[in-house]
A and B are shown apart, each in its own frame.
Chain A
């Protein structure tokens, strides 16, 4: 029974010391400690939230960059394609121009040749005509001198004509 009989002295001193401990610790220990722990937990949570936000921002930015890159590539391709088209066009144009120019020159040359040919033929005709006239004159003269001789000459001339 001794064990389970509380003694008044110990009850009194326990009450006093526990209450003093409670008051001292509440004021000097628990309040600052719990406050600091709470504060730190909040700051850690804040930091984590901020990190999450930064991560999202980063993801957004990199998406944007990618889109920009894609756009730039597409633009470059378009520009290259256009340049190629222009080049082809220029080359084609140059080709056709050269062809037409060439054709014109050839045409001109042909014309010139024709003209020359016509001129040459004209001259030959004129020569023939004048030759014929000379022949005719010579014949006429011969005829007037001797009848025999004229006939011989005509024959000769005719032979020449046949030969030429």
Chain B
């Protein structure tokens, strides 16, 4: 991977440095928080079953940032979501309300083909004697909390942008107004500061992808910061989501790679005996670029959520309301920072996507 040209890029150096600084800031906090929270959890793991009332921040936090088969709203109220299972015997669809009792404890449910149980958000088949049957492999295509949240954000984005596009048709040649004037600078920003300088004159072909990636990540980041329905899901902080985005980038970059791009990978300017090593390095580079995209977005957003949840958890760890003002103050600070990070990560992801596409479609090399 040669990332030096990213740092050399005149306008981008400072931004990248800032992003890197923020990334490390989040990572440090993340690791500290994990150490701090894991210790008491380990100590109490032994009598976890006995001390039901004991608060375990690790479990709570991980539960909040990971996916779930139902959408917890408040208290004992959850929004049941459809469970879709692809079992060896066929497709099975039922409501997730069937998988838990009124106290939110998991409960077996007898479906068409098997009896299912929700074991830590993994749907497993049960044998007749009530134990988990590991031999049945179930592919889980459920509309989980993250999927539902993503659908909501996709609908939101579609409605907003289609209506704004409508106002462009209505107000041809006039100055933007209302929502249009909020979104136009962002679109122009993606075009003039991300696509054009990185891709060059062929940028127009990639504008729809870059704009969609930018607004998809940004809207999901922002919705993830909202603590109540329809926010609260950690969509962009889920490795599956970032993996798909990075995979799409990988495909787009390599489909559009021209002969110079492939020549750079398979015929680099090195002595012939170095070629095999270079092939390995370059091919790893092809995959490591999107891999970095995937990890960066996932880690930044997840870390932000963990910090906010840890600060809230302080109230329950100390079991006193006196700490609440401190927690709220820090959470407020973190939320404001996360607003910046939400935009910054969407920008970085789009920027690097544009950069990778730029290297793939560049006409003359070096």
A-to-B contact residues, CB < 8 Å: 2-15, 17-18, 20-22, 24-26, 28-34, 36-37, 39-40, 43
Contact = CB atoms under 8 A, between A and B. Distances in A.
A34 B62 contact: no
A24 B163 CA distance: 13
Contact of B140 (A3, A7, A22): A7
A25 B163 CA distance: 11
A7 B143 CA distance: 12
A40 B175 CA distance: 9
B238 A10 contact: yes
B240 A17 contact: no
B99 interface: no
A2 B141 contact: no
Contacts of B216: 18, 21
Interface of B: 62, 65-67, 84, 120, 139-144, 146-147, 150-151, 154, 157-158, 161-162, 164-165, 168-169, 172-173, 184, 187-188, 191, 204, 207-209, 211-212, 216, 238-241, 243-245, 247-248, 298, 302
20 contacts: A4-B298, A10-B67, A11-B244, A13-B147, A14-B240, A15-B247, A21-B212, A25-B208, A25-B211, A28-B161, A30-B212, A31-B208, A32-B168, A34-B191, A34-B204, A34-B207, A36-B168, A37-B184, A37-B188, A39-B172
Contacts of B67: 7, 10
Contact of A2 (B66, B164, B188, B245): B66
Contact of B208 (A10, A12, A22): A22
A122 B208 CA distance: 138
Given A6-B239, A10-B147, A22 B209 contact: yes
Given A14-B150, A18-B248, 18 more contacts: A6-B240, A9-B139, A9-B141, A10-B240, A11-B244, A14-B147, A15-B248, A17-B154, A20-B154, A21-B158, A21-B216, A25-B157, A26-B208, A29-B158, A30-B161, A36-B169, A37-B168, A40-B173
B151 A17 contact: yes
B201 to A, nearest CB: 14
Given A30-B207, A40-B173, A18 B164 contact: no
A22 to B, nearest CB: 5
A1 to B, nearest CB: 11
Contacts of B139: 8-9
A18 B147 CA distance: 11
B169 A32 contact: yes
B159 to A, nearest CB: 10
Contacts of A37: 168, 184, 187-188, 191
Contacts of A24: 158, 162
A137 B169 CA distance: 150
In order of increasing CB-CB distance, the 5 nearest A-B pairs are A6-B240, A29-B161, A10-B240, A26-B208, A36-B168
A31 B173 CA distance: 16
Contacts of B150: 13-14, 17
Contact of B165 (A4, A17, A33): A33
A161 B25 CA distance: 162
Nearest to B295: A4
